[in-house]
A and B are shown apart, each in its own frame.
Chain A
Amino acid sequence: MNISRNWLKEFVDIEASDREYAEIMTVAGQKVETTTRLDGVIKNVKVGKVLSIVRHPNSDHMWICQIDVGEAEPVQIVTGAQNVRQGDLVPAALHNSWLAGGVHITKGKLRGEVSNGMLCSIQELGLTHNDFPEACEDGIWILNDEGCAVGQDINEVIGNDDSIVEFEITNNRPDCYSLIGLARETAAAFNVPLKLHEPAVKGGGPGELIELLDVETPDPDLCLRYTARMVRNVKIGPSPKWMRQRLRAAGIRPINNIVDITNYVMVEYGQPMHAFDYRYVKGGKIIVRRAGADAELTTLDGNVRKLTPDMLVIADETRPVGLAGVMGGENSEIAADTADVVFESANFDGTSIRKTALALGMRTEASAKFEKNIDPMLTLPAVNRACELVELLGAGEVLDGVIDVINYVPEPFALPLEPERINALLGTGIPEADMIEYLRREQVPVVDGMIQVPSWRPDLRRMADIAEEVARFYGYNEIPTTLMRGATTRGGYSPAQKLENKAGAAARALGCSEIITYSFVSPSGLDMIRAPKDDPRRNQIKLLNPLGEDSSVMRTTGLPSMLDILARNWAYHNKAARLYELAKIYLPTAGSELPEEPKLLMLGCYGPGESFYVLKGMVEGILSQLNVLPSRFEAVTDDPSYHPGRCAALYVGGKRIGVLGQIHPLAARNYGMDCEVYCAELNFTELLTVLAPEKTFRALPRFPATTRDLAVVCREEIPVGALEETITKAAGKLLKEIRLFDVYRGAGILPGTKSAAFSLVFRAEDRTLADTDVEPAMDKVLKALEAEHGAVRR
């Protein structure tokens, strides 16, 4: 909501700089977003008098003028305009002046003649013909009738000696979408009187209103109130300069006196109004109804609007003539020859207006106000104010009487003032008398301890609402600052959150950087990772109104998100990337309205040195930090997202927790990557169910260990894990540690076989081991390896 400080003066007298005004209003609850001086654009343009005008010697269309701008010497300015006469007053842009649109004027020579500036048209001063209808359309603006003096700053002539204050109005205060509403707030904030004016209409125009006009409201749920008056023998013309100036300051283009009056009242009262040309209201009947079967309406702006049956329209006996609360119809528009006018001042259901405006993509000043649910009590004073202005401007004859269809008016509402409870809520000790005074400033009277809530303040319903009013004028910043008392609470992380923090720290220690990806993804991501058509992950939650296909489903896997980011880094020519994300997936759950939202830990990397084993090592590192039950990896050859020979499933405590491996080259290619890409997807929520018992201290070994190295040759396809398992089982409890230190293929052993070398550490808790302790264990190991895998010592 933008207001003019000059216009505001009509209602409230305050002495404050723009900055002070903004600061005081903001801390009192009406936040000022911006303040703009209107004279900040046009600079160094003065009213000049044309002392003489002679033909330019070298041009057949230019003139050389001597202009008196109130300085000791006249200024010579060359102009190409043809409407300037000796003795005229004109806007003279002097050397080093600024015009609308940032145009900078300096002195120069025009065909050999010095010109110390420029004479201006209204366009060059940022105005339109609507602002100054009497100004010449295509020439210099002649100021003879503007009542200005030689040397005067042109901003004063235009009415630019004003500041426009832009307020952010909150939803609960529709009354503040009006000049009077903000004047009321200003008066309260500055504790000065509010000067309100009761509209007075003389009336007496020819005819009987009730014979001329009838209003029906068959849809009272959408039309809460409809108030109308009539004006006859209207003389359409421009409105006076003061009115045009104020409208322009409010950002509204002047049109003609009748339309300007409706806009003027809308700014003042916050009540949108409409003026119909009576001759087009067929049957003298206004029917406010749902559009029903009417399919379209051409609005004032010339656009044909498609109606839906529930939209509220203003109709005459035969057809819609306006879109209620949004815009009038072209078919009943005020024209130059309009003789009789109906002023509509109505109150429509806010939600209905908002939906109509939204559906038609035409949010207007009027609809923006209606959608906030404005005070139904405004319609009558507003229509009277419009009629008063008609009489003031001599624009027509107002008929006596008002048509006022009232389907809803708010009940008078009162609530007790409860000073103790208010102070208890605020943590203050404000005396009751002060509270009553704050409310009085806001035009909210307190009578016998009861707060009489005015109709424009439907937001005041409970003690807490009153507490806010009191706090606003007591000053939010005057309320003390204290720390909470009462029962202490044990703050902190849940066990799951602690584990998440640990996992993140472990991932970072392993060189992975954290990423944040969108929860909604493209459904085609599953195709990109080559998921089969019947993959259960294709059962995704769909957004019914997504921004686009790319963000239309909630992800059921983190793999496409991770690959997107890896691919982006690859495309940016980043040589390597190691990333992790701990975030949710969203799994539809039968029988529940809301999905399950388990957390995933995703790892992803590419770059020099990355390999399956590096990735596996990272996963193992994280698992060891998290202290989970023993884990094992099993080859997976049929996950289409992964390399069939470089993929493993992770089992922890017997539960399948995730999968890791090299991304299938075809999947990587789908993301534009032709390098080896590695990813791991771990179900973090599931991991929380396989935690190992808390770690406790074990005594350090007191006796030395005996180490034996063992290299065995076996067939290529036997996994090292299987050999390890056999060795561990066969060696018995003296074996404390087994570590693979080499796998060899090539010269010296048969093709199709490999040699795996292990280091075995034996130790007893109660003695130093002798060869006689270890040898039998080694024998058992060798026998078992041969029996189970055909593996022999190398």
Chain B
Amino acid sequence: MREQLEQIKAKAMQALQEAKESSELEALRVSLLGKKGELTGVLKMMGKLSAEERPVMGQLANNVRAAIEARLEQRKAELAAAALEAKLKAEALDVTVPGEAPALGHKHPMYIALDEVKEIAIGMGFQILEGPEVELADYNFTKLNTEEGHPARDWSDTFYIKEDSSVLLRTQTSPMQIRAMEAIGHPPIRILAPGRVYRKDEVDATHSPMFHQIEGLVIDKGITMADLKGTLETFVKGLYGEDSVVRFRPHHFPFTEPSCELDVQCFKCKGAGCPTCKGEGWIELLGAGMVHPKVLEGCGIDPNVYSGFAFGIGLERMAMRRFQISDLRLIFENDVRFLRQF
């Protein structure tokens, strides 16, 4: 019987070693350890043994069984690991094949640039405001200290809706200054008003009869030109980086006094002069100034109590510079090959 057991064990170990599939292992388990299995068959003969031999043989049989079971489990694990490895190998992909995510749409580059400005403004407590594009000449000009007879009011420059020149397509977002003061009523006022504006320019690489401006207005007690400079510098650093260098220079707008324009040092040549900045070393970014006392008075705000500043940014030029877009016409052409780039 001992030999028989030894023989079963040796044979089983051999078979287990040779098994290549988990199904073979299962068949071996049944043939060795199952109810009709070889080992079970041997154990059934235990009864015929002497009382002395029985425990010894029992012990031996159990050892053999345990050894086979252990080996069986081990082989199972080995085969599973091998099978997994083979499966993973078979499943290997060419990771350089393009991804299959559903195509996302793209925001228009102009509005990507606009969002950057809005975000900075909101962080400084600005409210985003919108208003009419078909506008009263009163708001677009008169209340902005631009009298009758001013060249900007010419029919060659401005689109008119009414014969008496009283209704027009707004030529600037500045009427939003008036509308903000009228709507909000009393300071403090901090608004940013982006939107479409219209001027009678033929379409070319740098002109379009419709374009966008971003108007900013702050009115409160004790607002100074130093605050204007600080606020605009914050904008510029937010848009062009902390190390950007700005320059303020005097300018003229009918509805601000003092007025200024802000230049940012050319980021290509660092002020040395290059084609990007037309040799000047500076790039004109925006116009601004302290709100003209006449404008405040016209909106019922006492310039002896309150002061404020306003600024206007041309969005197209800003976006074109931001994304190095060479031709304004691309912006309104809306070719998907253009839109997909942003």
Contact = CB atoms under 8 A, between A and B. Distances in A.
Contacts of B132: 594-595, 597
B124 interface: yes
Nearest to A349: B149
Contacts of A518: 209-210, 332
B102 interface: yes
A17 interface: no
B322 interface: no
Contacts of A580: 105
B17 to A, nearest CB: 48
Given A510-B105, A513-B339, A29 B249 contact: yes
A543 B167 CA distance: 10
A595 B134 contact: yes
A227 B102 CA distance: 79
Nearest to B284: A31
Interface in B224-268: 224-227, 229-231, 233-234, 247-252, 254, 257-261
Contacts of A426: 224-226, 258
B249 A493 contact: no
Contacts of A350: 149
Contacts of B223: 484, 486
A354 interface: yes
Interface string A575-610: 011111000101000000111010000000000000
Interface string B119-133: 001111111101011
A28 B250 contact: yes
A172 B146 CA distance: 12
A471 B259 CA distance: 10
B111 interface: yes
A479 B229 contact: yes
Contacts of B160: 543-545
Contacts, number: 245
Interface stretch (A49-57, A75-83, A84-92, A459-467): A459-467
Contacts of B154: 358
Contacts of B161: 541-544
Interface stretch (B6-14, B55-63, B214-222): B214-222
B209 to A, nearest CB: 6
A593 B168 CA distance: 11
B230 A491 contact: no
Contacts of B187: 487
Interface string A480-499: 11111111111111100100
Contacts of A371: 151
A476 B204 CA distance: 35
Contact of A569 (B251, B258, B336): B336
Interface in B84-140: 102-108, 110-111, 121-128, 130, 132-136
Given A427-B224, A544-B163, A489 B105 contact: no
A547 B202 contact: yes
B292 interface: yes
B169 A543 contact: yes
B148 to A, nearest CB: 8
B134 A541 contact: yes
Nearest to B227: A484
A19 to B, nearest CB: 9
B229 A481 contact: yes
Interface in A545-563: 545-547, 551, 554
A508 B159 contact: no
A707 interface: no
A776 B272 CA distance: 86
Contact of B200 (A462, A487, A547, A576): A547
B206 interface: no
A427 B134 contact: no
Given A476-B250, A544-B163, A513 B336 contact: yes
Interface string A448-486: 000000000000001111011001100011011111111
B257 A464 contact: yes
B257 A482 contact: no
B159 A545 contact: yes
B226 A584 contact: no
A484 B231 contact: yes
A597 B134 contact: yes
Nearest to B159: A543
B104 A511 contact: yes
A507 interface: yes
B110 A427 contact: no
Contacts of A489: 125-127, 188-190
A351 interface: yes
Nearest to A428: B226
A565 interface: yes
B155 interface: yes
Given A467-B257, A481-B233, A586 B133 contact: yes
Given A594-B132, A594-B135, A486 B220 contact: yes
Interface string A5-39: 00000000000000000000011110100000000
Contacts of B258: 426, 464, 467-468, 471-472
Interface residues of B, number: 85
Nearest to B258: A468
Interface string A159-173: 000000000001111
Contact of B247 (A27, A425, A483, A579): A27
Nearest to B334: A515
A516 B334 contact: yes
B167 A584 contact: no
A144 interface: no
B104 A508 contact: yes
B250 A509 contact: no
B103 A511 contact: yes
B123 A427 contact: no
Nearest to A542: B161
B145 to A, nearest CB: 11
A514 interface: yes
B337 interface: yes
Contacts of A27: 247, 249-250
B201 to A, nearest CB: 8
Given A484-B223, A491-B124, A544-B162, A468 B250 contact: yes
Contacts of B189: 489
A32 B334 CA distance: 37
B189 to A, nearest CB: 8
A504 interface: yes
B213 to A, nearest CB: 14
A793 to B, nearest CB: 37
A515 B225 contact: no
Nearest to B154: A358
Interface in A512-547: 512-520, 541-547
B225 A425 contact: yes
A495 B187 CA distance: 22
Given A371-B151, A547-B202, A507 B105 contact: yes
Given A513-B339, A519-B196, A546 B133 contact: no
A511 B134 CA distance: 32
Given A520-B210, A594-B135, A509 B224 contact: no
A509 B104 contact: yes
Interface string A340-361: 0000000000110010001000
Given A464-B292, A520-B159, 5 more contacts: A424-B222, A467-B290, A504-B107, A578-B103, A586-B133
Interface of B: 102-108, 110-111, 121-128, 130, 132-136, 149, 151, 154-156, 159-163, 166-167, 169, 187-190, 196, 198, 200, 202, 209-210, 218, 220-227, 229-231, 233-234, 247-252, 254, 257-261, 290, 292-293, 307, 331-337, 339-340
Interface of A: 26-29, 31, 170-173, 350-351, 354, 358, 371, 424-428, 462-465, 467-468, 471-472, 476-477, 479-494, 497, 504, 507-520, 541-547, 551, 554, 565, 568-569, 572, 574, 576-580, 584, 586, 593-595, 597
11 contacts: A27-B247, A426-B225, A468-B258, A471-B225, A491-B123, A516-B334, A517-B334, A520-B209, A547-B200, A572-B335, A597-B134
